[in-house]
Structure formats: structure tokens, C-alpha cells
Amino acid sequence: MAKAQDHDVLIAGAGIVGASVAWHLAEAGLKVAVADATGPAAAASGASDGAVSVASKKPGVMARLATGSLLYTRELAARGLLGPAYAARPSYVFGAGEDEMAAIDALIAKLAALAGPVRVCADGGPKLLPGAGAGIERLVVLAGEGHMPGHKAVRAYLAHPRITPLWPARINAFAADDSGVEVDLGGKPLRVGVLVAALGTSTPALFPWLPVLPRAGQLIVTDAGPVGALPGSLTAAAYLLAKTEGPGREALPPVVIDPLGTGQFLIGSSREEHADPTRVDFATLRHLLARAAAAYPALTERRVIRAFAGIRAAVSDGLPIVGPMPGSPRVIVATGFEGDGICLSALIGREVAGMVRGASPGAEWAADIAALAPARFDPARQECVA
Ligand SMILES: Cc1cc2nc3c(=O)[nH]c(=O)nc-3n(C[C@H](O)[C@H](O)[C@H](O)COP(=O)(O)OP(=O)(O)OC[C@H]3O[C@@H](n4cnc5c(N)ncnc54)[C@H](O)[C@@H]3O)c2cc1C
């Protein structure tokens, strides 16, 4: 006889990915609980920028998934769910020097090949943006992207009345059998039908063979100026290089300037191979700020009021890990979104909820979602290959 279940599904991790999965399952009528060791948006989702950007994604799987997620995020915003969190805005990508010019050319080619909702409106010099500085040689204006602070989206998703909040409570261990999963939640046993682990950088604590590595990023917040002075994000092409070729390949600071709805600016971000959210240093901040001010001199009139670090969950092969664990179909992981989790969260939440309910991904996404399967790191499979 099947054992009684406390919940149909337990989501471990109340970041944006876990929150989106939970909302989609609750909408489908399932009894869902969300546990977090600290609380909603306690880790990367609450310490990040919120670019919902196709431009910054690697061509291929990531750019296609980002395109789908951008369209679906817009739909959820139009339906009211993400309305308070998501805002459409233009994106500006700027460059100076040979490497950044080549990165901008590659960006234009990528967007043309995708033929999606993000398009190049203008390609020229600093005159395209009022207030642009001498640090900009070439500027591309993009339409179609948006911005969504992670903490706002998490709050919106978790407000669903069918979601049971269980925090603070840490998942210490789990054991899956044919009919469900036994979970040690803060020392107390819980039985659920399916466990979805959306644990970000903490993934290896429960799944030691998944190669999820911490990658820190420092961010700066300024005081408020006139709202709307900079109409959209201003991104150095070096940032595109850092994301497509790996950190450290870019010669110039990979700065992103994001105007917030408050009139403040969020300026980021570094890529550092450590997991310490308390590590913020003047050399890195100065490096980012100098390039930001050269690109947009009005920033010199703002004061820095805060600097902090967020920790991204990076995967050794540069792709997130999403899907059932080999041999344990009742345990599904969704992790390793590095600098792309805010953007991808809507589509990934919908697709993981589909997996839980036994639905196949839509034909449009099947191959790209299959490319994210944890089975690619399965030690048993590696032994067979070797
Ligand atoms: C500096 C910086 C800038 C970024 N900018 C962008 C951007 O512009 N656009 C974009 O798309 N993405 C961006 N990102 C990436 C984005 O923030 C992440 O990809 C996303 O937030 C990951 O969400 P998540 O739900 O997977 O993980 P997290 O938000 O890290 O959530 C994991 C949760 O699991 C909980 N947890 C851990 N262990 C346990 C346990 N054992 N039991 C219970 N709970 C546990 C944690 O408390 C945490 O709340 C940025 C990230 C950083 C750091």
C-alpha cells in the first residue's frame, strides 16, 4: 500500500526557479510546498541584476531558451502575475576596440539568425543615446528586452494561495522509492510525491556528482537621480565576451549599467571563482565604476550607497542542469543558471512543472530541454563511456 503523502510536490529552494516551478504546479491544481533554508530570494535571486535578455546569451540552446522565456515572461506580465515585477525597456550595447567591435558584430548576427522578439533598431555612435560619454565608440540600440528584479518575481510567484510555505527549513537528506520521496526537512521526516531541487550553489551538498561551482559577482547601487534619465540598460560588449567565452577573456571591464524604477542605478558585475558573499573590494568596484562613468558621465553625479556580492551557480559545461535524476524519476533538479536564471525562470518553471506532471515538453523546446538533462553528468554513464 502506498504511504500517505504530506504534499504532492516539495520544492527545495525558494529562489526564482523554485518559485516559478511552484507557481506553475499550484496553478495546475497540485498540493505544493516550498522549503528554503533561509527564506524567499535569500541567495542569488535576491542579489542579482534582473536583465531578461536574449542579447547576452550564448548562441544555440541558451539564446533559444532565453527567447522563449522572454516571450513567456511578457505573457505572464500581461496576465498580471509578473506585472509588478517585469518592465520592458530598450537595451544599449556599447563597445570600444577590436574585440568589442567583433562581439557586437556577432551579437547582430546572432539576433538576425534567431529572428525573435529582440531586434536591432540602430547601430552607430554615442549620439544614439543622449548623455553617452567618450568611452563609447559604437552603440547598438535593441528593442524587445526587459528587466525584472528577482525578489519581486519570487514574491509574485509565491503569493499563490495553493503554495504552502515551509521556511526557514533546510533539506538535509532525501531517499526516493517507487511511490514517493522521504525528505529530512530540518530533522523532521516529510513524505512527498516528487521532490524538485532548485538549490542554486548549494546543489552539490545533496547531489555531489553535479559539477555546480560558485561564481561571485560584485554589484554597486547608487543614490536616486531623475527617473528615466537613462531609458534602458547600457552594457559593455565585454560583458557579452565574458558570457560567451568565459570569465577573464575580456580585456575591458564587463560593465552593465541598469537604471532602476527608483531613479537609482545598479552597476555590475565581476565574475570571480569563489563563494563568499561578503567579499567586496575597492579595486574591483573602481574598475567597474571607471568604465561605467566613461560610458555614461552623469553617473559621476551619483553617490554609491551600497555594494554587495551575489553568488551565481555555474556549471562546468556552461549549461544549466534541468531534469529528473538518472534512476530517480521522482527527484527533479533545476539548477546551474549562473547569470541567466532571472531570464530563464518563467520558461523553466513551466517546463519543470510539466515534467512533474509527466507531460512531454512542447516540440519547440524538447531538444533544448533535453540538452540540460542531469544524465549528461551521470557517473555510471561516464564509466561506460570510459
Ligand atoms: C551579480 C549577479 C548578477 C546577475 N544578473 C542577472 C541578470 O541580469 N539576469 C539574469 O537572468 N540572471 C542574473 N543573475 C543570475 C540569477 O540571479 C540566478 O541565475 C538565479 O537567481 C538563480 O535562481 P535559483 O532559484 O536557481 O537559485 P537561488 O536564487 O540561489 O536560490 C536557491 C535557494 O535554495 C535555498 N537552499 C539552499 N540549500 C538549501 C537546502 N538544503 N534546503 C532548503 N533550501 C536551500 C537557498 O536559501 C536559496 O534561497 C545574476 C546573478 C548574480 C550573482
Quote the ligand 1 centre to 123 CA distance (angstroms): 34
Ligand 1 pocket mutation, candidates 267, 312, 348, criterion most atoms within 8 A of CB: 312
Q: Which ligand 1 atom sits closest to the C-alpha of 42?
A: 49
Q: Is residue 76 part of a domain?
A: no
Looking at residue 360, its pLDDT comes to: 85
CA distance 67 to 74: 11
- Give me the pLDDT at residue 252, please: 85
- In total, how many domains does the chain have? 2
107: domain CATH number? Answer: 3.30.9.10
Residue 77 phi/psi, 5° resolution?
-70, -45
Judge if the beta carbon of residue 35 lies within 6 A of ligand 1. yes
What is the pLDDT, as a whole number, of residue 379?
77
- Which of residues 259, 293, 315 is at a domain's end? 315
- Whole-number pLDDT of residue 36: 98
Q: Grid coordinates in use for 194? A: 516528487
Statement to judge: residues 95 and 170 lie in one domain = no
- Give every residue of the chain whose pLDDT is below 50, as ranges: 384-386
> Based on the domain organization, do 15 and 117 belong to the same domain?
no
Asked whether 202 lines ligand 1 (CB < 6 A), one says yes
What pLDDT score was predicted for residue 243? 85
Classify residue 60: in a domain, yes or no.
no
| Ligand 1 neighbourhood includes 13 CB (under 6 angstroms) | yes
Q: How confident is the model at residue 202, as a pLDDT?
A: 98
Q: Which domain holds residue 121?
A: 90-144+212-315
Same domain, yes or no: 231 and 241 = yes
For residue 228, the model assigns a pLDDT of 87
pLDDT tens, residue by residue, 72-81: 999 999 999 9
Q: Three-class SS string for the chain?
A: CCCCCCEEEEEECCCHHHHHHHHHHHHCCCCEEEECCCCCCCCHHHCCCCEECCCCCCCCHHHHHHHHHHHHHHHHHHCCCCCCCCEECCEEEEECCHHHHHHHHHHHHHHHHHCCCCEEEEEECHHHCCCCCCCCCEEEEEECCEECCHHHHHHHHHCCCCEEEECCCCEEEEEECCCCEEEEECCEEEEEEEEEECCHHHHHHHCCCCCEEEEEEEEEEECCCCCCCCCCEEEEHHHHHHHHHCCCCCCCCCCEEEECCCCCEEEECCCECCCCCCCCCHHHHHHHHHHHHHHCHHHHHCCEEEEEEEEEEEECCCCCEEEEECCEEEEEEEECCCCCHHHHHHHHHHHHHHHHCCCCCCCCCHHHHHCCCHHHHCHHHHHHHC
For position 365, which CATH number holds? 3.50.50.60
In this prediction, residue 385 carries a pLDDT of: 44
**Predicted local distance difference test score (pLDDT) of residue 386:** 39
As a whole number of angstroms, the distance between CA 301 and CA 185 comes to: 49
